[in-house]
Structure 1
């Protein structure tokens, strides 16, 4: 593979060096050895028996295409499947994923456990055993992604984060030496690198994926090319936002406790990077509008870019009213997200074919951020509705129904209203123009993923989740308002006085 292809620029096949590289002043590394994968003569020929063949068939037809969410599915539908034909560790991992996903397909509200699925457990243990004999670091990295997926499916955060940490450390030595790993695996780890930071992992305890040292190309050549660079920008942005949130919850103001200059420099650099990315992205779209099959990917990129802009612009500002300066941006983000054709998804709402889980982060947490931070009532209610129509039941560790409950309660607390089960105000006499004062605004929220049970005064036994709302009192200090949010229609939230306040280091920066 020529270096031009690594940069997602069409190689002109010039020998011994590609003219595309030499004409732009780059050193062409020549034609690096390709990874040669044996061609699959018979589908699933590596399967040992009918149960393995069935699991691989199910993965190929009903699992792999959905794991990528709005991202390109090539890794799951092609790369992993090709490797499974001649690498046992990959094959056994895919069989385990397939079996666990099939459980989720029939019950998206539960997290399947290996101890309850002997077939999946057997193949996961076999994959671990086979991996010990693998001496190829890129292959270990690929299997690491599959192991992370298995832990995502089970809702096992600590194991998933440990695999992620291990993979990032391997990536640092693999990325530059193996072009195919840089092209297909590195972007996935850049996106994975963000996940632990959403769930309370301390910045200082988790390694960072090496940032791209490539300067922006003059032009983006495809949606995938644009995504490659936005992945890097988003990863940097989440680290900045996480640090900013920690400062805010700890009550550290820029006036009393100046922001370290390296973080302010990173903020300026990210603003420049986002502007440069958008300039090239708009040029790409004006010349090559996305095809219908790429529409969801396109609108997801637009949403990621707009949310990143808000994150970077509002960093190190302790006043929640700073988000009011971005209301028009929030409106535009929701307008663009609403353009996604959800006709197919809505028609499959009661079908087993509806995706129940995705490995990648989709629309759900991005829309949830807008519900949290946009105080325009009409816009945040639209965002709440889109969480249901665009979100998948589970997007790695984000669970759709719990996020929706938390988002609805945030709106109710800040605006002093009650929302019905469809997310619309119960009272017709609502002031749609009023913005809640800063003292009523929720800084962040932390939810417990476990389903809890509460007995109401009328004797009803109700399942639900526990949520901590971090708010600021008149003295400017942060306090925690805890509630039980019921999952049963018609039941109302109740105060939960039995919860202990969560320490700042365990706070999820933008909710769960």
Structure 2
């Protein structure tokens, strides 16, 4: 009996390891304990006298707020460097991919647009939401493969693994309220960017349709929601300009107004006008007051001229790009009016204006070319392809259309759903058919 007790006592005791904590406040995640997820601060932290660090970009917590007179948004989400500790142990490959995302992807894919979705929301959402973290790793790996022209299949396998893990993590978020909707939309946006990079446009369109449907469930729009809505607004406009069958989402019908003082506000105002023009014929905009929209576009142009004077060199590039979209929008409004020969003649000058405005941008890009070690030739945001493609399709002057096709071939690259080489081929076929 004593021998049996001794042998039993000598056996190693099995210790139950704490599982991964995927949800809850930051404090409970770090402590690896189950969180009751109470708002604004979890009861588990409060009952033990601890400071609840809240739920990341989803808010909450009882940590004292440091008042900062230089930033009115400090209480909503912190900008700049990330000081929060990691919530999960990552492999060397995952760490390398995350570093690539922070240092290279967030500076290359947005192009000239330094939007908070890339600089603030995604890096911080990676800390608090596992699905976003895995989706970002997948996106980063695709960008790295294309930028460095890597032919090794192991990176493709890594991307697919992270993609699948992100999808599985999303399933655990279903039915968790507003926070889960935000996390799902952010992950969906990353998937769309990823599929555009891979050239899988049909899959990207499926993700976009799902994202726009989920977007309807956002009841109130705060700053974080606004960043998400702006991202899907751009997705929708570019998809419609490319001729894709995407239903008009009611949630995108906002009215930011024509008064703006920043590049971000100016882009919001112009995209709202484009939404109204694109919505004609849809249930969203059965009738459009062309004269009123025409006046709004002219007012936008006047306001933008004031902003350009005080902008940096990169922002001036972005303003010039927006003004090209403004010119295209003016043509789109004119084409909604009853057709007549006089109207067709007056539209040729704006078409030529689009190409003339694009030329200095081409020169700027060639003189300030991308890094020599980045062969991706891709950005995820808007560029000059849609206005040039629109000119190549709809101008009545053969020389203008040929010039537009030539510009599409001049700097081969991709802009989200757009591929300049593919656009040139389609425009050239249409040009030959009209002869």
TM-score, normalised to structure 2's length?
0.70
Q: Which residue of 2 aligns with 1:373?
A: 394
Shift of 1:47: 6.0
Distance in structure 2 (CA, Å) of the matches to 1:332 and 1:198: 19
1:198-257 Cα offsets, whole Å, 9 max, x none, are 455446x5534431144433xx211211111111111222233xx49xxxxxxxxxxxxx
Give deviations 1:110-161, integer Å, cap 9, x for gaps: 9x9x999221111111112222344312232222211211222233334322
Name the counterpart of 1:393. 413
Question: How do 1:329-478 and structure 2 match up within 5 A?
Answer: 329-340=350-361, 342-345=363-366, 348=369, 351-389=372-410, 393-412=413-432, 414=434, 440=435
Q: Which residue of 2 aligns with 1:235?
A: 275
Mapped pair 1:132 → 2:171: yes
- What is the aligned counterpart of 1:118 among 154, 157, 160? 157
Most deviating of 42-51 and 87-96:
42-51
Instruction: Report how far residue 402 of structure 1 moved.
Output: 1.9
Looking at structure 2, the residues matched to 302 and 359 of structure 1 have their Cα atoms a distance apart, in angstroms, of 19
Structure 1 residues 119 and 318: CA distance shift in structure 2, 3 A: farther
Alignment check: 8 A CA contact 2:87 2:128 kept: no
- Residue range with higher mean Cα deviation, 57-66 or 223-232: 57-66
Q: Which SS does the other structure have where 2:76 is aligned?
A: coil
Corresponding residue to 1:63 among 101, 105, 117? 105
CA contact (8 A) 1:84 1:91 kept: yes
Decide which structure has greater strand share. 1
Q: Which residue of 2 aligns with 1:160?
A: 204
- Counterpart of 1:105 in structure 2 is 147
Paired residues in the alignment total 360
Work out the CA distance in 1 between the residues paired with 2:342 and 2:74: 53
The Cα of 1:310 is off from its aligned counterpart by 0.3
Matching residue within 197, 209, 233 for 1:190: 233
* Structure 1 position 226 matched with structure 2 position 266: yes
**3-state DSSP class of the match of 1:282?**
helix
Q: Report deviation, 1:295.
A: 2.7
Task: Say which SS state the counterpart of residue 252 (structure 2) adopts.
Answer: coil
* Secondary structure, counterpart of 1:40 in structure 2: coil
- 1:463 equivalent in structure 2: none
After superposition, what is the alpha-carbon deviation per residue over 1:22-59, rounded to whole angstroms, capped at 9, x for unaligned?
xxxxxxxx999614689624898966111011111222
Alignment match, 1:310: 331
Give me the whole-angstrom Cα distance separating, in 1, the residues matched to 2:205 and 2:418.
15
Q: In the aligned structure 2, how far is the partner of 1:320 from the partner of 1:393?
A: 36
* Contact 1:226 1:281 survives alignment (8 Å): yes
Aligned match of 1:506 = none
| Distance in 2 (alpha carbons) for counterparts of 1:31 and 1:400 | 38
CA contact (8 A) 2:263 2:319 kept: yes
SS at match of 1:120: helix
5+ residue gaps, structure 1, are: 1-29, 245-259, 415-439, 441-512
The more displaced of 157-166 and 39-48 is 39-48
Where does the alignment leave 5 or more consecutive residues of structure 2 unmatched?
1-71
Larger radius of gyration: 2
Mark the CA change 1:396 to 1:178 in structure 2 (over 3 Å): closer, same or farther: same
* Match in the other structure for 1:212: 254
Shift of 1:62: 2.9
Which residue number in structure 2 is paired with residue 89 of structure 1?
A: 131
SS in structure 2 at match of 1:333: helix
Partner Cα separation in structure 1 for residue 101 and residue 236 of structure 2: 25
Deviation at 1:410, TM superposition (A): 4.1
What is the distance in 1 between the residues matched to 2:238 and 2:163?
23
